[in-house]
Amino acid sequence: MATQDELKKQAAAQAVAMVQPHTVLGVGTGSTVAFFIDLLGARNKQTPLNLKAIVTTSNRSKEQLEQNGFTVSELADIDQVDLCIDGADRVDHHLDGIKGGGGALTLEKNVAINAKHNVWIVDQSKVVDRLGGFPLPVEVLPVSCEQNFRRFEAQGLQPAFRQKADGSRYVTHYGNYIIDLHVDPLPIPAGLAAMLDSTVGVVEHGLFLGMTDEVLIATNDKIEHWTR
Ligand code: 5RP
């Protein structure tokens, strides 16, 4: 029986094989993507990929890419991403998912929406019949975060501000807070996404509906390959 890390690495290895030379690559965030970055670096050392550009979704991934010899560009400085590889916290059979466990949801959604092709790499523990089983992150502006918190509470969405180990509020790349919604399973994801999209003060949320084209799922005996 493979460990969860071994499964993550297997999915990551499969994704590395999908990267074409001379293209613009998007790289997400998380422990599965961390395996992808190291494996990509090893491939690039053996046979240079001469990528046109790489963009990424967090400072953590940026540093790791740079350690592997890549130069990282800003999303605003490139035209379009050819392929984006990212992880996910949960994925269902419609290829909808919850992301943002690592707090990088806003950049992740911006890179994904500007990519021609999106691929998620996950281990089998992430697959669910109904989206849930993981808190849904909502990035909110500090200015109205208390009102939005109370609004979510009144809607029965069981909000909690994400905290750092020292008990202070987690602050995103953009200086905002994250409110995790603990409602499980999520009531009608499309309706919830529409409500969050139209809530003033919500910067972004972790419901990624209809956004990925493929999911590579590492299971104990094979890599399952789901496409939209
Ligand atoms: C970060 C994310 C990650 O992709 C997600 O949390 C999966 O991470 P991991 O590969 O560590 O399970 O959305 O914001």
Q: What is the total residue count of the chain?
A: 228
Residue 181 is predicted with a pLDDT of 98
Residue 149 is predicted with a pLDDT of 98
- Rounded to an integer, the average pLDDT of 81-98 is 98
Q: How confident is the model at residue 226 (pLDDT cuts 50, 70, 90)?
A: very high
Record the pTM. Answer: 0.97
Out of 6, 63, 74, 108, the active site residue is: 108
Q: What is the CA radius of gyration of the chain?
A: 17
Ligand 1 center–CA 137 separation, angstroms: 12
Q: Which of 99, 109, 127, 139 to mutate to test the pocket of ligand 1 (most atoms within 8 A of CB)?
A: 99
Q: How confident is the model at residue 178 (pLDDT cuts 50, 70, 90)?
A: very high
Q: How confident is the model at residue 61 (pLDDT cuts 50, 70, 90)?
A: very high
Residue 20 is predicted with a pLDDT of 98
Query: Cβ(184)–Cβ(89) under 8 Å?
Result: no
Ligand 1 center–CA 30 separation, angstroms: 4
Residue with tokens 């910067």: 203
Q: Is 30 in the pocket of ligand 1 (CB under 6 A)?
A: yes
3-state SS, one letter per residue, for the chain: CCCHHHHHHHHHHHHHCCCCCCCEEEECCCHHHHHHHHHHHHHHHHCCCCCCEEEECCHHHHHHHHHCCCCCECHHHCCCEEEEEECCCEECCCCCEECCCCCCHHHHHHHHHCEEEEEEEEEHHHECCCCCCCCEEEEECHHHHHHHHHHHHHCCCCEEECECCCCCECECCCCCEEEEECCCCCCCHHHHHHHHHCCCCEEEECEECCCCCEEEEECCCCEEEEEC
Residue 200 is predicted with a pLDDT of 98
Query: Cβ(4)–Cβ(214) under 8 Å?
Result: no
Q: Is 125 in the pocket of ligand 1 (CB under 6 A)?
A: no
Question: Which residue's CA lies nearest to atom 1 of ligand 1?
Answer: 102
Q: Which of 6, 10, 32, 211 to mutate to test the pocket of ligand 1 (most atoms within 8 A of CB)?
A: 32
Residues of the chain with pLDDT > 70, as a percent, come to 100
Annotated binding site for substrate: 29-32, 86-89, 99-102, 126
pLDDT in tens, 179-211: 999 999 998 999 999 999 999 999 999 999 999
Query: Cβ(173)–Cβ(104) under 8 Å?
Result: yes
Q: Kindly tell me the burial class for residue 156, based on how many C-beta atoms sit within 10 Å of its own C-beta (0-12, 13-18, 19 or more).
A: exposed
Residue 141 is predicted with a pLDDT of 98
Question: Which residue's CA lies nearest to atom 5 of ligand 1?
Answer: 88
Q: How confident is the model at residue 160 (pLDDT cuts 50, 70, 90)?
A: very high
CA dihedral 24, 94, 61, 42 (to 10 degrees): -70
Atom of ligand 1 nearest to the CA of 126: 12
Q: Which of 5, 33, 84, 180 to mutate to test the pocket of ligand 1 (most atoms within 8 A of CB)?
A: 33
Q: Is 89 in the pocket of ligand 1 (CB under 6 A)?
A: yes
Residue 118 is predicted with a pLDDT of 98
Active site residue 153: no
Residue 2 is predicted with a pLDDT of 94
Ligand 1 center–CA 193 separation, angstroms: 19
Number of Cβ within a 10 Å radius of residue 42: 12
Query: Cβ(17)–Cβ(46) under 8 Å?
Result: no
Residue with tokens 């918190």: 149
Over the chain, what is the mean pLDDT? 97
- Rounded to an integer, the average pLDDT of 50-62 is 98
Residue with tokens 């790489």: 54
- Rounded to an integer, the average pLDDT of 153-161 is 98
**Phi/psi at 136 (nearest 5 deg)?**
-90, 115
pLDDT in tens, 101-152: 999 999 999 999 999 999 999 999 999 999 999 999 999 999 999 999 999 9
